[in-house]
Every structure is written in C-alpha cells, then in structure tokens.
Amino acid sequence: MRVLHVITGLRVGGAEVQLLEVACRTRHEVEVVALYDVGVVGERLRDLGVTVHDLGMRSSIDLRALPRLVALLRRGRFDAVHCHLFRATLYGTLAARLTRTPTVVVTEHSLGEHQLEGRELTRGIRALLRGALHRADAVIAVSSVVRTRLEHLGVPASRIRVIPNGIDLDGFAFDPTARVATRGALGLAADARVVGSIGRLAPSKGLDRVLHAVAGLEPDVQLVIAGDGVERPALEALAASLGLSSRVQFLGERTDAAALLSAFDVFVSASDAGAETFAVAPLEALASGLPVVVTTCPGLDGVEDGRVVRTAPEARRIGADLATALAATPDRTTAPRHLLAGFAVDRVVAEIDDVYPEIRSAGAGRQRATTGA
C-alpha cells in the first residue's frame, strides 16, 4: 500500500523520531509531508531515500496548506493517510476525506490531561481535535493512558488501538567506545558522575526541579541536558542563579541520543504526570543499562526492574534518589531486554503496518454488506 505520513514538522522530537523509525522499517511504500520545517529528521529521511515534501506553511492558520495537501494526495494516489501531531491531524484528516483516500489513521502522541503539545487543552482545541479524530478510521494511542484520554474525548473505543512507541534495542545498547568519545567531546572526565536528560525543554518536563535537585548534590556531579524548546532561556537563567553554570551543559537538539546515554551514569525525567503520554527517552535509557529516575512514565507502566526508580515531583526527593542511583554501579551490559521486548521497534512497526490493510478489509466488508454483494 502507498501511505502518506502527514506531520506538523520534522525537528528532533519524540513523534518525529518515531515517524523516522516507521518510515525506514515499514513494508509499505511511504512518503512524508511536513506542514513546515523539514528539519534534521526530514533531512535524515531524505538521506535514507524517503521522499519528503514541505508544504511551506507560514503560520498555524495558513489555509493555503490545505489545497496543497489535497493536490499532493491526488497526484500521489495514496491508499492511506497517517497523521501525527495536532495541526497535521486537522489538515491531514480533512484533506484525506476531501480526496476520498480509502484509509485514514491518526497516531495520538501528545494528548495530556489538560494540555496538547504544550498548549492549554481549551474547549475550542478539544472540539477541533475531536472533529479531526472522528474523520479517522483508526486512532493509535501510544499508551493505555492516552487511550483513556481519547475515550474521555469521545473517540469510540472500537476505533482505538494501543501501539507503543518503538525502541531500537540494539541501537541503544551500551557502547563503551561511544562513552569515552562522547565524554571527551563534552569535556567530561572519565570518572565524572553524570546525570543526563533528553527531551523537549517545556514547563511540563520539570527540568527546573532537576536543576534544584542537582544543586543539592555533591559539587562533582555534572548535569547534561539534550534538547531544545521554549523553556531553555529560563532554565539557563535558573542554572546560573543556582551557581550551576560550570556543572550544567545545555546541548540543544541532538541526533546522537544513543551515544549520549552511553556517556551518562543516571538518566532523570521529572515530567508532570498529567502531561506525559509515553516518555520514550527513559525506556531508551533503560535499554542502555542506565538507572532511570522518573516521576512519571506511562511507557514504563508494568515494567519492574531494580534500575527503575519512581520518584516524587519534588526537588529534594529527586535529589536523594539521584544520589542513591549515582552510588550504584550496575552492569551496563545487562540491560533488561526481556522487559523491553514489547517495545522492540521492528515489532511495533509491524503492528502499525497491519493497521492499514485491516481497516481497508473492514471497509470492503462493510461495503459488501451494505450493497448485498
């Protein structure tokens, strides 16, 4: 089947990287279109031979994107449209119905209790999202938490499929050579104690709590934060006010997450519970054999391992748990792969690949029943 993936943008982020994994491993013929900002993920897709289109959207209400997307769908004769993230879901599902594309799928990556992709989940946004999701034949929830939120939004349970984010377990395995090289590139001593975080810099990620926690640890503990976002200036100012400027590195967007994880000693995630939908980075850290200190991580629900420390969203408690984790010396080569097997990326992509023909077959069956054929 020919599948067009529609996404808002292709800068480094959880949904964007997941789309990269799907597009590179699928058994279907795929193309990708971004409403705007092809970014480094888009360039990586192109390097791998995937056709990537840019609609050139100039603002969130640039309605010219819709006829451009409709034209692309008509030219491409796609069998399925698969939408990712809020704006792409609004435009993609509408364009798919206007062109009578047979199969329409949405993956809901970011639906929090009270916010969506960092914006408040107002009555108007709820209505827009609900309308777009009702245009879909199936909605993939990345966790059971998201499934529940979709049901509360009014999406019929029969249309929801829970398929988690995928992890390249081999790609994230601990690499001692990468550890040495990455620490050298970051100016970190071989024996430095390093706490690491990877993800979008947004208020809901709780990195202010992490900074306060690290400020209470021994002065030899270093913090490395990879990712970018609206909260970066405030976090850099907070780090300076806490006297942490020499102990904290803000790396910005990175595409070498596996190497960074090999360089860390502990991974920390301090997100707000109501904002998280899956949180793939802690699972990638676990695949790297790291101790993981988390306030919330729907992706880790049901995963019980000594490396997973479930902490409270409070700086003092996070600091205490980080200190305990730093004192431990786990064997990084014995990551709990058996607990992560359900997140293996090839398995996840195969589940997604099966959704399109299942929907098409069900649609054909309904049509035969209606016509009496």
pLDDT at 367 (0 to 100): 41
Q: What is the pLDDT of residue 65?
A: 93
Calculate the alpha carbon distances from 145 to 162, 164, 276, 277, 279 in Å.
Answer: 10, 11, 9, 7, 12
Report the distance separating Cα 134 and Cα 196, nearest Å.
40
| Tally of domains within the chain | 2
Q: Give the torsion through C-alpha atoms of 47, 49, 53, 58, to 10 deg.
A: -10
Measure the CA–CA gap between 53 and 353, rounded to whole angstroms: 21
- Is 303 domain-assigned? yes
Bridge partners of 111?
116
The CATH number of residue 256's host domain is 3.40.50.2000
* Residues facing residue 185 across a β-bridge: none
Tokens, residue 126: 């709820």
Return the closest-CA partner of residue 3 out of 66, 73, 87, 69. Answer: 73
> Nearest CA to 71 among 98, 103, 45?
98
Q: 71 and 213 share a domain? A: no
Identify the pLDDT of residue 32.
98
* 84 contacts 90 by C-beta, under 8 angstroms: no
| Maximum separation of any 2 CA atoms in the chain, in Å | 76
List beta partners, residue 198. Answer: 226
186 plus 332 within the same structural domain:
yes
Pair 259, 155 in one domain: no
Give me the pLDDT at residue 371, please: 34
Secondary structure in 3-state letters for 280-298: HHHHHHHHCCCCEEECCCH
Residue 222 amino acid letter:
Q
The Cα-based distances of 150 to 60, 159, 289 in angstroms read 23, 10, 33
Q: Is residue 171 part of a domain?
A: no
- Three-class secondary structure of residue 80 per DSSP: strand
Q: Confirm whether 82 is domain-assigned.
A: yes
Residue 311 lies in a domain: yes
Do 68 and 112 belong to one domain?
yes
Q: Which range marks the domain in which residue 72 is found? A: 2-166+344-371
Q: What was the pLDDT predicted at 335?
A: 86
Question: What is the per-residue pLDDT for 96?
Answer: 97
Please tell me the predicted confidence (pLDDT) of residue 337: 87
Q: Check whether residue 268 and residue 186 sit in a common domain.
A: yes
In tens digits, the chain (373 residues) has pLDDT values of: 999 999 999 998 889 999 999 999 999 999 999 999 999 999 999 999 999 999 999 887 788 899 999 999 999 999 999 999 999 999 999 999 999 999 999 999 999 999 898 889 999 999 999 999 999 999 999 999 999 999 999 999 999 999 999 999 999 999 999 999 999 999 999 999 999 999 999 999 999 999 999 999 999 999 999 999 999 999 999 999 999 999 999 999 999 999 999 999 999 999 998 888 998 999 999 999 999 999 999 988 888 888 999 999 999 999 999 999 999 988 898 888 889 999 999 999 999 999 999 998 886 434 423 333 3
152 and 291 co-located in one domain: no
Let me know whether 186 and 57 are in one domain. Answer: no
Q: 158 and 185, same structural domain?
A: no
Contacts of 309 (CB under 8 A, 6+ apart): 291, 292, 293, 294, 321, 324, 325
- Could you tell me if 353 and 318 lie in one domain? no
Q: Which H or E run contains 44?
A: helix 39-47
> Could you tell me if residue 30 is inside a domain?
yes
| Residue 13, in any domain of the structure | yes
Q: For helices 65-76 and 86-98, what crossing angle results, to 10°?
A: 50
- Asked if 136 and 194 sit in the same domain, the reply is no
* Interatomic CA distance for residues 7 and 5, integer angstroms: 7
Backbone phi, then psi, for 18, in 5-degree steps? -65, -40
Do residues 16 and 143 share a domain? Answer: yes
Whether 119 and 255 share a structural domain = no
How many alpha carbons lie under 13 Å from residue 190 in its C-beta half-sphere? Answer: 4
pTM of the model: 0.91
